[in-house]
Structure 1
Amino acid sequence: MLNNDRLLVQILLLVLLGACAWVLAPFFSALFWAAVLAFASWPLMRLLTRALNGRENTAAAILTACWMVLVAVPLVWLGFNLADHVRDATELFKDFQVDGLPNPPGWLGGLPLVGERLVGLWNRIDEEGVALFAAIRPYLGQVGNWLLARSAQIGGGMLELTLSLVLVFFFYRDGPRMADFVQSMLQRLIGERAGHYQELVAGTVQRVVNGVIGTAVAQALLGLIGFYIAGVPGALVLGLLTFVLSLIPMGPPLVWIPATAWLVSQGDYGFAIFLGLWGMFVISGVDNVLKPYLISRGGNLPLVVVLLGVFGGILAFGFMGLFLGPTLLAVAFSLLGDWVSSEPKESVQVVTMVSEENRD
């Protein structure tokens, strides 16, 4: 009877947990990003709490307000500026459709060996461009509908971001108690190795935050410098876009390549060449150097495991997979390592019996 009562309690507990997950399902993404943001900035929370003589609520409120100002204000400003730049891009598209590309620069034909071919390619693109615009005109309405649907998704993402910034206050305030609860639950489930896996998850998330966010900041600053030097309008907006798109693979070229094309359309061929080289070797090139270095610091996991987790996680889970992917691979890699290194009890007993027989 006792076993039946325990089974009934376990079933009821599973049902209760399932119901709780069902209730919280609409907020999973916001909770996840709030937890990641609080974890990544927890050193700031500790410093601020120490400066305020241990007043955690005040420190959490100040830090949350700072995040709202740092995130919300640039996003609103970016939205207004994007509307202006979309209007400019529409006008540029119409100019290309009517007038075509500008005449090729004189120095292009003077290049040895390839000059005449490049001029011919330029003129062919100019001639075929008019036909291309005429061919894609019937599909512009479908593109507009697609952009409208994406705008609705972006609006939902903004609401989710706002909710994350509200929830991060509670993660700041109750962070230590949440960590103790998670550790107690893990100890109940897996015993003495709970601390190891908790540190493993925390270290993996911290390494991904340092590598991905740190690289995005570096690429945004380098992009901002290049846009200012080349004289591209809206350099600050393009720098913010570079930061956002740096969080996904091959994102920054979606910013500096159109900026280079705009310089070509304006006849600024020298700055166009500069920005193209700057974007290819500096903005995009730093991703191949800085990100592996930051991710590989302070951990004993193979770098390839973390990188595969980052890219595979994005493909599997969307943007949340940026942290879920490497965390899952890290835990699985550690579990397999523990399983391989632990010798089964049966084999130990067999080895002991064989050694005793040899002694006899």
Structure 2
Amino acid sequence: MTNQWIHTGSSLQRYFFLLLLMLVSLLFFYLLKPLFTPVFWACVISLLFYPFQTKLQRRWGSRPNLIALTTLLLCSVVAVIPILLLLASFVREGAILYEKIDSGEIDPEAYVDRLQSALPLLQRPLDWFGVGADSLKEHISSGALAASGFAAENVFSLGQSTFKFFLSLALMLYLTFFLLRDGSRLVDLVARALPLGKERERLLFSKFVKVSRATVKGNLVVALVQGTLGGIIFWILGIYAPVLWAVGMAMLSLIPAVGAGVIWLPFSIYLFAIGEVSSAVVLVLYGVLVIGLADNILRPILVGRDTKLPDWLVLLSTLGGLMTFGINGFVVGPLIAALFLVFWQIFSRDFNVDGLQDEQE
């Protein structure tokens, strides 16, 4: 009887401790919620540049501080600084475009009229969908004003919260340094705390790191390359605000079944309509043969066949991530999808009852 009471008491203490552990963990993550963006991108950067760090470790030996600092400087030069300059140019060009549309210097309705007069056949498919010329011009004008106004608003918000922005940037770089230096140790601590078994933990971490790194690296690099290629051809052809459209193409390239063609194809149609046939042909050929093929060539190299997520899953996870996490959802969504697949692979391997029975027989 006494032993039963002792056993019951120890079980009650264990369950109560687990309840408190879950509560404290939830409170800790809720505490870090305002800092989600710098913490998340610090984890992403440390994950992407970890292979370079391991090469330095093999060459320089045990110098964790120097290796982490060198890796941080490399990722700042290669990724952080160029992206900051690109975003600054994007916001600046968006603000200028908004001012020109708002002042009437650029009239989207005039472009629509010119396009309709040059290509009257375009009105027929619009009539099928019940879209009139006046409503089309109104929607295009309001959409252009809203899109450029979004970038203009970010200029003022960036100026008003400059301290907050650079504080988040400094926090991200600070966390990245310690994640690069102590990342392996933190992973070991987490693996030791998780009651999953060594083999299962090793499989979970290895597959998740492999899939997530390949997915993030593949999506981001392909999007940046396609956006850069699109911006170059827009600049060569003299299309206004090439950086603005380059960023737009890069963002759309992250979404499967959408891609950069949503931007360069309408521009090619407009160039053809206004009589610049050679520029239109160049843009179409460049968009199909260079921008379009960049995805087919780079993605298998960066992602690989075994770690590539299905396009439909990338589409759903990207859109869901955008709606849930905002701009960070471009990366958070596919990462969650990768983690989802890894857990189900482990479950199907280790917890499938039919599979276990077949193995026993």
Alignment match, 2:200: 193
Alignment match, 2:41: 33
User: Is residue 2:354 matched to residue 1:337?
Assistant: no
Pick one of 47, 55, 71 that aligns with 2:80. Answer: 71
Tell me the SS of whatever aligns to 1:323.
Answer: helix
Q: Deviations over 1:173-199 (max 9, x none)?
A: 11121121122233x334532211221
Pick one of 327, 330, 334 that aligns with 1:322. Answer: 334
Equivalent pair of 2:229/2:291 in contact (CA under 8 Å): yes
Q: Deviations over 1:85-141 (max 9, x none)?
A: 65357647745468556878xxxxxxxxxxxx975337999xx76775468778988
State how far apart, in whole Å, the 1-side matches of 2:143 and 2:187 are: 53
Tell me the SS of whatever aligns to 2:303.
Answer: helix
State how far apart, in whole Å, the 2-side matches of 1:136 and 1:208 are: 35
Tell me the SS of whatever aligns to 2:62.
Answer: coil
User: Is residue 2:303 matched to residue 1:295?
Assistant: yes
Alignment match, 1:87: 96
CA separation of 1:95 and 1:238: change in aligned 2, threshold 3 A:
closer
Alignment match, 1:60: 68
CA separation of 1:223 and 1:89: change in aligned 2, threshold 3 A:
same
State how far apart, in whole Å, the 2-side matches of 1:198 and 1:315 are: 26
CA separation of 1:5 and 1:289: change in aligned 2, threshold 3 A:
same
Identity of aligned residues (%): 24
Equivalent pair of 1:314/1:321 in contact (CA under 8 Å): yes
State how far apart, in whole Å, the 2-side matches of 1:273 and 1:284 are: 15
Comparing 196-205 and 221-230, the one that deviates more: 221-230
Give the aligned residue type for 1:42.
Y
Gaps of 5+ in 2: 1-8, 127-131, 323-328
Deviation at 1:215, TM superposition (A): 2.1
Alignment match, 2:6: none
Pick one of 289, 293, 317 that aligns with 1:313. Answer: 317
Tell which structure's C-alpha radius of gyration is larger: 1
Equivalent pair of 1:101/1:265 in contact (CA under 8 Å): no
TM-score (norm 1): 0.71
Tell me the SS of whatever aligns to 1:189.
Answer: coil
Query: How many residues are matched?
Result: 329
Alignment match, 1:354: none
Deviation at 1:313, TM superposition (A): 1.8
Pick one of 222, 232, 241 that aligns with 1:215. Answer: 222
State how far apart, in whole Å, the 2-side matches of 1:86 and 1:266 are: 26
Alignment match, 2:22: 14
Gaps of 5+ in 1: 105-116, 352-360
TM-score (norm 2): 0.71
Q: CA RMSD in A?
A: 4.3
Give the aligned residue type for 1:343.
L
Comparing 130-139 and 273-282, the one that deviates more: 130-139
Tell me the SS of whatever aligns to 1:273.
Answer: helix
CA separation of 1:97 and 1:13: change in aligned 2, threshold 3 A:
closer
